């Protein structure tokens, strides 16, 4: 098996100052990449600014013989995203991959979710990805090569109670990934996603007091960042030629998410009533021979 080598590549990791983001930075640097550690050091709720996390990770990589630079702009803003891209180009002269990992957390029962918090989750996850990936895409399009990794979550795709804003933002990342993958294909740009689970400060915050129990500690100890970071390294590498791939990674298992539609029921007349839906629901929901479209056009073509 050939070693996946990122020597000569430049990778930008948002939210790279702590947790999984830090693990991604270190893994990528270990494989030879020059890393832009992008993190404004806010708290898990999105407030505050601390340059230390990004600077510390970049310094540790350099001390280990790697190449890294810190960027402490706010990726949830247009200016902050562009600043990170420009720093990569000024420092290293190129940009080969982006890992859109930045985000915050807040939990509450749905009826109590404050509007400003919901908007903040969208801003710090989905908009942060958009603000970095959009200018990065233009750079990659010009060079004819790029690898973009969106960090999504099973909490969004499958759902998790009390995480309305987080779930909406993380699922939105997959919609963004799909479009970037389709538009980037002719320019050598792949766009994929990962749904990771690991013992991070966000996970501990959600568990609250349970994180300090024996069962809680055992659970968190089983979710290691080193079980996830290599998956991101693969997706950010030249070895990954697949696009629109979504991988779930935790506890040593790597699996692929399949988003598809059933073959369904087709009306012979082309007309559908509410009663038709009720009477054919078993056929409509039968997952045998699931269709996994690569785009909206693939689904439309399945009926032609």
Q: Which of 24, 92, 145, 166 is catalytic?
A: 166
> By the 8 A CB rule, do 73 and 122 touch?
no
Report which of 72, 82, 187 is spatially closest to residue 132, judged by C-alpha positions.
82
The rounded distance, in Å, linking the Cα atoms of 118 and 163 is 10
The question of whether 166 is a catalytic residue gets the answer: yes
Contacts of 25 (CB under 8 A, 6+ apart): 13, 16, 35, 37, 57, 58, 61, 68
Per DSSP bridges, beta strands 246-250 and 253-256 are: antiparallel
Category of 127 on φ-ψ map: left (φ > 0), alpha (ψ -120 to 50) or beta:
alpha
Three-class SS of 43-93: CCCCCCCCCHHHHHHHHHHHHCCCEEEEECCCCCCHHHHHHHHHHHHHHHC
Select from 192, 190, 22, 191 the least CA-distant residue to 102: 22
Beta strands in 96-238 (DSSP E): 97-100, 146-151, 189-196
What are the residue numbers of the active site? 166
């Amino acid at each position: 098996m050939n070693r996946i080598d990122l020597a000569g590549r430049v990778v930008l990791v948002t939210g790279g100052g702590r947790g999984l983001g830090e693990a991604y930075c270190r893994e990528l640097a270990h494989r030879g990449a020059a890393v832009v550690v992008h993190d404004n050091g806010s708290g898990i709720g999105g407030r505050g600014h601390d340059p230390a996390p990004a600077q510390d990770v970049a310094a540790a990589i350099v001390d280990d013989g790697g190449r890294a630079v810190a960027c402490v702009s706010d990726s949830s803003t247009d200016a902050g995203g562009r600043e990170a891209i420009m720093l990569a180009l000024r420092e290293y002269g190129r940009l080969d991959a982006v890992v859109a990992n930045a985000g915050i957390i807040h939990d509450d029962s749905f009826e109590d979710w404050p509007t400003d918090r919901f908007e903040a989750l969208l801003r710090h996850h989905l908009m942060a990805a958009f603000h970095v990936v959009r200018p990065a895409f233009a750079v990659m399009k010009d060079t004819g090569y790029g690898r973009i990794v969106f960090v999504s979550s099973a909490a969004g795709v499958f759902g998790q109670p009390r995480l309305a804003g987080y779930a909406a933002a993380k699922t939105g990342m997959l919609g963004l990934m799909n479009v970037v993958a389709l538009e980037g294909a002719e320019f050598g740009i792949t766009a994929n996603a990962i749904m990771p689970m690991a013992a991070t400060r966000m996970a501990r915050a959600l568990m609250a007091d349970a994180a300090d129990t024996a069962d809680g500690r055992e659970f968190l100890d089983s979710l290691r960042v080193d079980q996830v970071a290599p998956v991101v390294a693969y997706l950010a590498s030249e070895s990954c030629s697949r696009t629109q791939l979504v991988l779930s990674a935790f506890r040593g298992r790597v699996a692929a998410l399949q988003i598809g539609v059933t073959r369904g029921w087709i009306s012979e007349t082309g007309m559908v009533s509410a009663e038709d839906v009720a009477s054919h629901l078993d056929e409509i929901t039968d997952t045998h021979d699931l269709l996994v479209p690569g785009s909206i056009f693939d689904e439309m073509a399945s009926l032609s």
